[in-house]
A and B are shown apart, each in its own frame.
Chain A
């Protein structure tokens, strides 16, 4: 361990970091454009009257449409600037802040890979990825370097490894391994595919994919690290992500992973691509003790958080899939088939007369769908409904829910307890006791 701590300050080639910077920036540029061209800025952020928030971030509000479009333009250009290595550090800071801000506007659209993008762009702020093959060097804004420290590259590798490995750990549960759910349901919907279609509703295939997926996630970081297995590992990466993106609507995530994992390739390969010859003088560079302490503290705090935070669900006595406390920000990717239906009664006058809410009046289809399965959303929405119907006579009208959830093909079960007045329940991190037991 001590040796490893010293090794992180040994110089290595900058080339892998250049590859990563160029690819990551380009992907983010195109995915921001894609988001815009799909009309999602309007659909996801401008059209809804109500936005769901992450715990502790209810202060994040949606800006005016003009400002929002401006933010997307700046985000796209910041991504492009990262890729080109132009005003790199400012570009990283700008991209990280704006991208994260957009994600915080509405928790409906939370995706693990958006979280991954936020984390990586945050890391990039501290990595000197613009020190070669960049506009900054070309314009003389910074000095060209052929070396960086190991930790500069290893931190990206570690981040990627955490995503895979934790996604693998998350799969080690009864549903996934023993029942082959949710894949049994998801694969059976694809019997129309050419060639493999006829196998798609076979049980053995669901088990093979479930176990194969878990083993892939758990082992791929190591297979990519070891030189001997790297080539086959990368082919597996392409196959795995290519196949899942063909079967499921998972957007750009597969491409982010396929391109990001190129950082595991050998230094020589990256150097050949960028035609970077290492300058021998730079191998002697050392670093002051105080800087070492700062870097080490930073790495301990950042990665310590990454390693511990996904396990916070262990603090809750409830079923993780049912209550979802500790579900997000934990690399639980494509892990369950959960669908819900929730209809709300608001009692504006007294506890007998109610109005049944038509969710489409207040939520977009995707918001409604996400709300129906996530307790913190149900609560936020119930509070919102209560506030819409409040009066001086009745400042906090009662709200109850008729709500059902189906988890991994088990059929619909009542979700929110029938008579609970949701207006009286505060959103908190305490274990949820207002849901029926799974």
Chain B
């Protein structure tokens, strides 16, 4: 009896299992790390060195995050590749759940845009939004496309999947995929886009688990090409350009005379941009604090070791306090960003203002205290 059930529902079990696993890992990544036992990682001056910081960040933060992204995206990919016409509403709902957790997990990796991720331009191919639905539609219609082409950056990655997998009316979505004329192409396009994302993520995750980890640990200085220099530059770029501007500022209208552009928000079809935003901000905070499944040595400890101050306060405290202020403002929002910029513009503006203060602390105070050059341009000084 057990066997029979097992056999007939095997695919669903697998899905359920992977979804469960996704949630559990996500929770591990998100929650367990928030509480930090200060006593454990209060280290004395003599004990601190940058190699310990790099080791902890690699082993406790970056690699586990990439591993879990790889696992979740790979499961999502298997699930999508297993789809066949006729697609059922249940199939799509299951896929939507997996997609959301994959998109959420990606937020934890978007700050690592250096090394392997940078060399294959992972960030651009995974999360360039808004996607261009016209390009996607024309790709589907023609049925022939090169997903690696620069012109297709707006038609691939999670934003494209977001568009393909979500609609107010699930039944209509089912009809799209089962449409006689274009349904097969549409399903194939979905499969190709997800397979492409899966392949890219796998590539980067595998490199972090092999050769790049050695490179990363060896570059233990603070010059332009050092791992600390790369991390700080990349996290600032991510926070300023992609989190503050991309997720909040541009939809809010900071580039358009205060007129909101909800269409430029993230995940407008699945409507879970608020979760993505919060995940990326808390993810960045944990990354900076060196916290993964357990708390460890991070930039906060490095700053404390250097006795970096902001006024009379420890800079590390100031940064964490400001993260809390940002998170409070995120929590004050209820709907997704594209909805909130229309209905609650002043609250999103308040969020933007708090995020802006954090830019100053990260780009100015933190980098200056660590004596890191914020520039990708090589130049002499004197």
Give A contacts to B, CB under 8 Å: 38, 40, 43-44, 109, 111-113, 185-186, 188-193, 201, 248-253, 333-334, 337, 339-341, 343, 348-349, 353-356, 358, 360, 364-366, 369, 402, 404-406, 409-412
Interface residues of B in 47-74 (CB under 8 A from A): 49-51
Cα A406 to Cα B255 in complex, Å, equals 27
In the complex, the answer to whether A43 meets B368 with C-beta atoms within 8 Å is no
For A112, what are the chain B residues with a Cβ–Cβ distance below 8 Å?
Answer: 382
- The distance in angstroms between the C-alpha atoms of A131 and B314, with both chains bound, is 64
Contact at B374–A411, with CB atoms within 8 Å?
A: no
B residues less than 8 Å from A251 (CB atoms):
380-382
Q: State whether B381 touches A189 (Cβ < 8 A).
A: no
**Interface core residue of A43, A189, A337, A353 (most chain B CB under 10 Å):** A189
Chain A nearest Cβ from B124, distance in angstroms: 16
B50 contacts across to A, CB distance below 8 A: 191-192
- Asked if residues A250 and B220 are in contact (CB atoms below 8 Å), the reply is no
B87 beta carbon closer than 8 Å to chain A: no
Query: Do A402 and B356 touch across chains, with their CB atoms under 8 A apart?
Result: yes
| Alpha-carbon distance between A190 and B308 when the two chains are bound, in angstroms | 16
Distance between Cα atoms of A353 and B45 in the complex (Å): 50
Q: Scoring B residues 343 to 382 as 1 if CB is less than 8 Å from chain A, else 0, what string do you get?
A: 0000000000000100111011101111111111111111
Q: Which of B281-321 contact A (CB under 8 A)?
A: 305-306, 308-311, 315, 318
Partner of B49, one of A38, A191, A369, A405: A191
B380 and A252 contact, CB distance less than 8 A:
yes
Contact B364 A404 (CB under 8 A): yes
Of A185, A192, A193, A353, the most chain B CB neighbours within 10 A belong to: A192
Q: Report B-chain residues with C-beta under 8 Å of the C-beta of A333.
A: 382
* Cβ-based interface call for B182 (8 A): no
B382/A334 in contact, CB under 8 A: yes
Given contacts A356-B249, A369-B375, contact A248 B381 (CB under 8 A): yes
Is A353 within 8 A of B370, CB to CB? no
Which chain B residues lie closer than 8 Å to A192 at the CB level?
49-51, 220-222
Count chain B residues whose beta carbon lies closer than 8 angstroms to a beta carbon of A.
48
Contact B306 A339, beta carbon cutoff 8 Å: no
Cβ of B257 < 8 Å from any Cβ of A? yes
Instruction: Please pick, from A248, A355, A409, the residue contacting B255 in the complex, using a CB distance under 8 A.
Output: A355
Shortest distance from the beta carbon of B357 to any chain A beta carbon, whole Å: 9
Please give, as numbers and ranges, the residues of chain A lying within 8 Å of B310 by CB-CB distance: 411-412
B258 within 8 A of A: yes
Chain A neighbourhood of B364, CB < 8 A: 339-341, 404-406, 412
Interface centre among A38, A337, A365 (most CB of B within 10 A): A365
**Nearest chain A CB to B48's CB is how many angstroms away?**
8
The listed residue with most A CB atoms (<10 A of its CB), out of B258, B310, B369, is: B369
Whole-angstrom distance between the alpha carbons of A360 and B369 in the complex? 24
21 contacts between A and B (CB under 8 A): A38-B378, A43-B377, A109-B379, A185-B369, A189-B370, A191-B50, A192-B220, A249-B380, A251-B381, A334-B382, A339-B364, A339-B368, A339-B374, A353-B258, A355-B256, A355-B257, A356-B254, A358-B255, A365-B374, A366-B379, A404-B360
Instruction: Give the CA-CA distance A343 to B364 in the complex, in Å.
Output: 13
B41 within 8 A of A: no
Chain B residues within 8 Å of A353, by CB: 257-258
> In whole angstroms, how far apart are the Cα atoms of A299 and B177 in the complex?
86
B42 interfacial contact with A, CB 8 Å: no
0/1 string, B244-258, CB within 8 A of A gives 1: 010001000011111
Considering the complex, give the chain B residue whose CB is closest to the CB of A348.
B257
Given contacts A339-B367, A409-B308, A411-B315, contact A190 B377 (CB under 8 A): no
Q: Are A337 and B309 in contact (CB under 8 A)?
A: no
B363 to A, closest residue via Cβ: A341
In the complex, which of the residues A364, A409, A410 has the most CB atoms of chain B within 10 Å of its own CB atom? A409
Who on chain A is nearest to B258 by CB? A353
How far is A343 from B372 in the complex, measured between Cα atoms in Å? 20
A409 CA to B374 CA, complexed, in Å:
16
B376 to chain A, nearest CB (A): 6
**Centre residue among B376, B378, B382 by max chain A CB count within 10 A:** B382
Since A38-B378, A250-B381 are in contact, a sample of 11 more A-B pairs with Cβ atoms closer than 8 Å, ordered by chain A residue number, is: A111-B380, A112-B382, A189-B370, A192-B50, A192-B222, A341-B359, A341-B364, A355-B255, A360-B241, A366-B377, A412-B310
Most-contacted residue by chain B among A193, A201, A339 (CB, 10 A) = A339
Instruction: Collect the chain B residues with CB atoms within 8 Å of residue A38's CB.
Output: 378
- State in angstroms the CA–CA spacing of A356 and B252 once bound together: 11
Choose one: B241, B249, B370, B382; the contact of A253 (CB below 8 Å): B382
The docked-state distance in angstroms from the alpha carbon of A344 to that of B224 is: 27
B223 adjacent to chain A (CB < 8 Å): yes
Query: Which of B223, B249, B379 is most buried by chain A, counting CB atoms within 10 A of its CB?
Result: B379
What is the distance, in angstroms, from B344's C-beta to the closest C-beta of chain A? 19
In the complex, what's the smallest C-beta–C-beta distance from B94 to chain A, in angstroms?
40
B381 touches A249 (CB 8 A): yes
Task: Write the nearest CB–CB distance from A253 to chain B, whole angstroms.
Answer: 5
**With A353-B258, A355-B254 given, is the CB distance from A337 to B380 under 8 Å?**
no
Bound CA span A190–B363, Å? 20
- List, in ascending order, chain A residues with CB within 8 A of B374's CB: 339, 365, 369
Roughly how many angstroms separate A410 CA and B309 CA in the complex, as a whole number? 7
Does A406 lie within 8 Å of B368, measured CB to CB? yes
Checking B224, B256, B311, B356 against A411 with a beta-carbon cut-off of 8 angstroms, the contacting residue is B311
Question: Nearest residue in A to B365 (C-beta to C-beta)?
Answer: A412
Alpha-carbon distance between A359 and B335 when the two chains are bound, in angstroms:
31
Cα-based distance from A250 to B382 in the complex (angstroms): 5
CB of A248 to closest CB in B, whole Å = 7
A355 to B255, CA, bound (A): 5
- In the complex the two chains form, what is the Cα distance from A354 to B257 in whole Å? 5
The one of A201, A365, A409 that contacts B309, using a Cβ cutoff of 8 Å? A409
In angstroms, Cα B378 to Cα A43, docked, is 10
Within 8 Å by CB of B380, from A43, A186, A253, A358, lies A253
For residue A203, which residue of chain B has the nearest CB?
A: B307
Residues of chain A contacted by B49 (CB below 8 angstroms): 191-192
Shortest distance between the CB of A428 and any CB in chain B (Å): 27
Contact B257 A365 (CB under 8 A): no
Task: Tell me if A334 and B381 are in contact (CB < 8 A).
Answer: yes
B132-160 CB contact bits vs A (8 Å, 1 = yes)? 00000000000000000000000000000
**Chain B min CB distance to A334 (Å):** 6
Q: Which residues of A contact B375 (CB under 8 A)?
A: 365-366, 369
**Chain B residue at smallest Cβ distance from A411:** B310
Give residues of chain B (218-272) contacting chain A, Cβ–Cβ below 8 Å.
220-224, 241, 245, 249, 254-258
Q: Are B371 and A406 in contact (CB under 8 A)?
A: no
Bound-complex Cα distance A252 to B378 (A) = 14
Q: Which residues of A contact B223 (CB under 8 A)?
A: 249
**In the complex, what's the smallest C-beta–C-beta distance from A360 to chain B, in angstroms?**
8
Among B241, B254, B371, B378, the residue within 8 A (CB) of A185 is B371
Cβ of A394 to closest chain B Cβ, rounded Å: 13
Q: Which 8 A-B pairs have the closest CB atoms?
A: A251-B380, A189-B371, A411-B310, A339-B368, A356-B254, A189-B222, A365-B375, A353-B257
